[in-house]
A = this chain, B = another copy of it.
Amino acid sequence: MRIVYDVLRDEILSLDLPPGSAIDEAGLAERFGMSRTPIREALVRLAGEGLIETLPNRSTIVSPLDFLNMRPYFDALVLMYRVTTKLAAQRHRAADLEVIHAWQAEFAAAVQAQDALAMIATNAAFHLAVAEAGRNPYFTALFKRLLDEGRRILRLYYQSYDDQLPQRFVDEHDAIIAAVAARNGAEADQLARVHGEQVVDQVQMLLAGGMRLDLAL
């Protein structure tokens, strides 16, 4: 059922269900007050998105986070930052900008309030709104998946600022909005690249250092 899928997905992405933990169908069935059949359908969907891994005839577990080879993840993330922003500059319509502005306002508010969880959510929503304006469902879908996967990783990132994200990020978002509004694809691309690489560098520095402790979330 839809509900089961949504709840489990959120619990996985928020690390309520820690990576590697086992998933018990019968238990979930009891918890949600329904039969195992709809539970299994939700699990199949989650497996399709790579959020859980199902060992045949054996247990199914929440997909582990692989902190060793994150290079591919970051490469993909930065490229999607770039391409979706560039496309937004080229293909956006007036109404799109309103949505983007709205999310940027919420993001700024979250930064102001030093609310880490809200920052993660609104930042993702901001960039997704930009991606939507680019009108390429293939890129948007991959980007969404990367941002979701990132919810499990980026949390470390925000913690490195002690729940305090620099104002600079808000400014960069504003610059991106300006480039998109001006339909300047090259500029939008460049800004998105810098914006993305900044996140990546920071997280990699964290991982290179002794940030192992936080993984026990």
A interface with B by C-beta (< 8 Å): 37, 40-41, 44-45, 48-49, 72-73, 75-76, 79, 83, 87, 135-139, 142, 145-146
Contact = CB atoms under 8 A, between A and B. Distances in A.
Q: Is the interface of A mostly helix, strand, loop or mixed?
A: helix
Contacts of A48: 44-45, 48-49
B142 A73 contact: no
A42 to B, nearest CB: 9
Given A48-B48, A49-B48, A83-B79, A137 B72 contact: yes
13 contacts: A41-B41, A41-B44, A44-B44, A44-B45, A72-B135, A72-B137, A72-B139, A75-B87, A75-B139, A76-B136, A76-B138, A138-B142, A138-B146
Contacts of A139: 72, 75-76
A45 B135 CA distance: 25
Closest 5 CB pairs of A and B: A48-B48, A76-B138, A72-B136, A44-B44, A142-B142
A44 B138 CA distance: 19
A87 B142 CA distance: 18
Contact of A138 (B40, B41, B49, B73): B73
Nearest to A69: B135
Contacts of A83: 79
A139 B142 CA distance: 9
Contacts of A79: 83
A37 B72 CA distance: 36
A131 to B, nearest CB: 12
Contacts of A142: 138, 142
